[in-house]
Structure 1
């Protein structure tokens, strides 16, 4: 009996073999991840006050396609653009627009996902535009700390709940809330795979972290309430109900025999 079967008999939640990537698959996913990181670096070099979110979308589309990739969000379940651009009170899935201009004091999450040779990668970064309020700086800084603490808590043969507990504990200790219904996901052979990665579950709960798993860590940390609503017109963009700020930082990670390896950030 192998270790996975033994854990399953003990009542643990274990990944199916289809979620454990082979060495060849991991190498191909890493190539996609390198392009995804390069796209975000390209955005980082150009993003500024006065540019439109459509200009960010164009940067992402052009750089990705010129380097042999495909923007994964484009036409995914009807999503109309190549990247998600979520400003201030937008939690996630902001749709780039020609008339949506970045202004001094904004915070924005740019969420880039890439297909390269059929393999998927994903990451997002927060950008502070111009002179940002101390409240906004603290939120973004704490969100980054949440991700770092989640990474530190993750150990091979530990649990997804270990990551969630570290993230939620740090967020709430700083006076913030964590969005429960939207989380991370497995990735690599598809854009969204199992498991769903929660950031509000207890330590020692959820799926066992088995070497070969690849998933995202992408908590959405709100300045106020964790409650949200979805734009009724586009059925994508998610807003805070109290109109307070939200921040998100996303890494894609690989579980190895010894640690958690960051593939994108």
Structure 2
């Protein structure tokens, strides 16, 4: 496993790509409401990305048709934007988006409420976010990757949630998906040692019910097997000597 360590010039390019991802999420937060389609959100997101002279990382990636993954309610990840998919009051939607500029990718996901949502749904969104930040307590030079993974799992399961096993986070940089794979659960072993200059996409995918998922016939959309709600929270982070920096924020 060859994990890329970025030099200062590459890190600045990553910051630029990641800032565009954050800008998309800010725009999505303003646009998401009952009655709009996920295709509309996809168009808006692509406009934001291209207005910044970047290109959507996801569009055309292994044939994916959208600039964003728009995953509603029991959809865990990889929801395909569609005019037919109209948002309804009380739903939740995760927006996963990547931006590519000057040779580097940024990648990030957020889960948003659609109008007024249930206490259960709000707790899931917040618990997923909390599990990410629990993992970040171990994100620093000299620690090991699976310390992050174990902390995410422990936090999410403390709420009774299911941690998705089939999909994981990843390194990010010149390629959208680089080494290492970053589970949201504790595998055997400590995993690679973290080194300042690594850029990682850490992304808890957490189900309100059981952890099992299945992929639909479109070969992309992944849903919870038990029909429970799912939330997704992802940032691209930079490992530093003293800790970490979140790159996907404004």
Q: TM-score range by the shorter chain?
A: over 0.9
- Selected match of 1:111 from 77, 96, 109: 96
User: Cα RMSD over matched residues?
Assistant: 1.3
Q: CA deviation at 1:117?
A: 1.7
Greater shift after overlay, 247-256 or 147-156?
A: 147-156
SS in 1 for 2:116: coil
Structure 2 unmatched ranges of 5 or more = none
Alignment of 1:187 onto 2:200: no
Within 1, Cα distance between the matches of 2:131 and 2:177?
A: 22
Match of 1:38 in 2: 23
Match of 1:166 in 2: 151
Within 2, Cα distance between the matches of 1:258 and 1:153?
A: 11
- Selected match of 2:139 from 139, 154, 159: 154
Within 1, Cα distance between the matches of 2:81 and 2:97?
A: 12
Alignment of 1:98 onto 2:86: no
- Selected match of 1:61 from 46, 49, 53: 46
Alignment of 1:240 onto 2:216: no
Q: CA deviation at 1:155?
A: 2.4
Q: Stretches of 4+ moved more than 6 A in 1?
A: none
Number of aligned positions between the proteins? 249
Structure 1 unmatched ranges of 5 or more = 1-14
Larger radius of gyration: 1
Within 1, Cα distance between the matches of 2:88 and 2:143?
A: 43
Alignment of 1:251 onto 2:235: yes
Whether contact under 8 Å (2:140, 2:241) holds in the other structure is no
Within 1, Cα distance between the matches of 2:119 and 2:238?
A: 34
Within 2, Cα distance between the matches of 1:242 and 1:229?
A: 10
Match of 1:83 in 2: 68
Alignment of 1:20 onto 2:8: no
